[in-house]
Amino acid sequence: MSTSNIPVIAIDGPTASGKGTVAHRVADKLGFHYLDSGALYRLTALMALRRGTDLRDEHALAKLAEHLPCHFAGGEILLAQENVTEQIRAEEVGNTASKIAVCQRCAMRWWACSWVFARRRAWWPTGATWAR
């Protein structure tokens, strides 16, 4: 199946507005894969914080985004086999994710990553604006 035939539904809205909860429930009902795309931003932010990456260095941030060793399984978010589901929800990580969200190079990497999920079957991303 080509990606042009895969249905994609997106939801966007302000932080902590419940879009993830709604998206997850709708995805379950429709049998879609659920991708918390906001987690990609937060995972990149967590890695940047841990490595002391300069948040103004778009090239370095893009490299982190491109090589995220992440896995989503059973409601858990893993970063290099470490469960960081709760850690990425920390205020410092969220604030950092907001700062790097404007990085166009990162956005291209996150977009490419999200299409890996899309190739599998229908999916429902949240946390960012997606069009399909």
Q: How confident is the model at residue 114 (pLDDT cuts 50, 70, 90)?
A: low
CATH code given to domain 33-121: 3.40.50.300
Burial 81-119 (b: 16+ CB within 10 A, else e): eeebeebbeeeebbebbeebbebeebbebbeebbeebbe
Higher pLDDT, 123 or 22: 22
pLDDT at 86 over 80: yes
pLDDT at 119 over 60: no
Distance, CA of 21 to CA of 101 (rounded, Å): 21
45-49, 65-69, 78-82: which is most confident: 45-49
Q: How confident is the model at residue 123 (pLDDT cuts 50, 70, 90)?
A: very low
CA within 13 Å, CB half, 126? 20
Return the SS3 of 57: coil
Sign of CA dihedral 64, 19, 85, 120: negative
Tell me the mean pLDDT in the region 37-43: 85
Round the average pLDDT of the chain to a whole number and report it: 77
